Amino acid sequence: MSLIDSLATTEPLSQVFSDESFLQAMLDFEASLARAEAHAGLVPQTAAAAIARAARATHFDARRIARGTLRAGTPGIPLAKALAQRVGQADRRAARFVHWGATSQDVADTALILLLKRARPILAADWMRLEAALVRISNRHKNTVMLGRTLMQAALPITFGLKAAGWLGALRRSQMRMEIAFTEALVLQFGGASGTLAALGDQGLRVGRVMARELGLSYPDAPWHTHRDRLGALVAACGVLTASLGKMARDISLLAQNEVAEAAEPEGGGRGGSSAMPQKRNPIASALTLAAANRVPGLVAAFLSGMVQEHERGVGGWQAEGPTVACVIESTGLALRSMAEAAEGLRVNAQRMRLAIEATHGTIFAEKASLLLGAKLGRERAQGIVQQAVRQTGRRQRRLAEVLTEMPEVSKVLDKQILGGLEAPEEYLGVAERLRKRLLFSPRRKRL
């Protein structure tokens, strides 16, 4: 992991998208191509074996290939040249069959897809951690009442269990979109010069199917050199997932403010410290997730803009994609891992949540009071009375139920027992628990 990327990826994903990893993925394509063509009788078996033996990343200088890429406009050209030279050292005749019938974009595209295939289980593992933690939190706090907050202001009470289930519901929906997008995107790219595999005669489809099977990829109906919709759907799905993770991070960071202190991220191991203020306990997981949520939308837009490509080979659009896709996947993975860590160690202060409700002096139950009075006096008159009571509550620092009890127009129609239970948050949660269960037990896919 490079220092400049240390707040934008995780160690496992940085390894997936490293120079060595990408180089090996391109070489895996070339070795698979040679073996598939030997299987079809297009190249000698000895040549395929020689190419496969040479196709090891440790045999090549990634920096030199990178310099060649800048001149060629694609990594496939310097890669094929370097591989042919390596093969030729052991078998000059076999070197002639390196990259036989393929085009440079076939190599680069398939290599990127192979990296996505490697990234998928890494994302899935962190997703499973996050899902399990949120289920535990929601179940543990199904009866923990807290303020609902709308437009950043105190609103009707909810439960923290419902809040956590809401996070989970959005993340599960995003996970299902990612599942579909990954499945569709993991396809072989193999079309040759103009996407017709003309160099292989009538054996092109046969070779492609063997390659796809060997590389563990699906085989598409046709090459997709300038049809980037599958990757676009994956990138967009990452954007939605990262935004949903960002919403969770935003909530946690707001709840972690000192003056709120209703929840806190785990501490220890150097997490959340300050170089100047020893008392600080910063919400680092939320910060990293929000940084990813800020970064990814622009990358999604950049990818979608580049999808408008020319004829059978794009100029500029395709060449922009590699770093964009890598950064999107790495940012999504960082957000997933960060929120998994936050959820697994999240500290919830139920007492502070209760105190926040009490601090409103019962004014958050103004809707309930209006409904009770409205049934007796009519909606408009009831709301006017309650608004007057709320104003008096603020001026006199008294509770809403007390003020209402002293108002003759209220005491005539509502007895003290009803008003006495006005401010019980557990009695005004509606169907919160049923909604929580619906979110927790909604149908879902098992993995990314």
CA pair distance 190, 196, nearest whole angstrom: 9
Contact yes or no for 328/304 (Cβ under 8 A): no
CA pair distance 369, 386, nearest whole angstrom: 7
The pLDDT assigned to 184 comes to 98
Name the CATH topology of 106-147+159-187+224-349+431-448. Answer: Fumarase C; Chain A, domain 2 (1.20.200)
Which among 6, 274, 411, 442 is annotated as catalytic? Answer: 274
Same topology between domain 106-147+159-187+224-349+431-448 and domain 363-422: no
Contact yes or no for 414/420 (Cβ under 8 A): no
Tell me the C-alpha to C-alpha distance, in Å, between residue 388 and each of 35, 97, 154, 392: 83, 88, 18, 6
* Backbone φ, ψ for residue 146 (5° rounding): -155, 170
The pLDDT assigned to 1 comes to 77
Domain boundaries, the chain: 106-147+159-187+224-349+431-448, 363-422
Known catalytic residue: 313? Answer: yes
Residue 155 DSSP SS3: strand
The pLDDT assigned to 279 comes to 56
CA pair distance 247, 239, nearest whole angstrom: 12
Residue 156 DSSP SS3: strand
Known catalytic residue: 274? Answer: yes
Tokens 């890598």 belong to 326
Which among 313, 352, 398, 444 is annotated as catalytic? Answer: 313
Letter string b/e over residues 19-39, b meaning 16 or more CB atoms within 10 A of that residue's CB: eebbbbbbbbbbbbbbbbbbb
Q: How many CB atoms lie within 10 A of CB 349?
A: 18
The pLDDT assigned to 274 comes to 47
The pLDDT assigned to 432 comes to 97
The pLDDT assigned to 111 comes to 98
Q: How many CB atoms lie within 10 A of CB 170?
A: 18
Pair of tokens at residue 57: 């990343």
CATH of domain 363-422: 1.10.40.30
Residue of 243, 342, 340 whose CA lies nearest to 290: 243
The pLDDT assigned to 276 comes to 47
pLDDT, tens digit only, all 448 positions of the chain: 788 888 899 999 999 999 999 999 999 999 999 999 999 999 999 999 999 999 999 999 999 999 999 999 999 999 999 999 999 999 999 999 999 999 999 999 999 999 999 999 999 999 999 999 999 999 999 999 999 999 999 999 999 999 999 999 999 999 999 999 999 999 999 999 999 999 999 999 999 999 999 999 999 999 999 999 999 999 999 999 999 999 999 999 999 999 999 999 998 665 655 444 455 578 999 999 999 999 999 999 999 999 999 999 999 999 999 999 999 999 999 999 999 999 999 999 999 999 999 999 999 999 999 999 999 889 899 999 999 999 998 787 899 999 999 998 988 888 888 888 999 999 999 999 999 999 999 765 555 5
Pair of tokens at residue 105: 């974009």
Residue 348 DSSP SS3: strand
Determine the angle formed by the axes of helices 229-255 and 160-185, rounding to 10 degrees. 160
Residue of 55, 77, 51, 52 whose CA lies nearest to 64: 77
Contact yes or no for 320/231 (Cβ under 8 A): no
Instruction: Tell me which amino acid residue 128 is.
Output: M
Q: How many CB atoms lie within 10 A of CB 197?
A: 24
* Backbone φ, ψ for residue 283 (5° rounding): -80, 80
Contact yes or no for 400/420 (Cβ under 8 A): no
The pLDDT assigned to 275 comes to 45
DSSP label at residue 218 = B
DSSP label at residue 145 = E
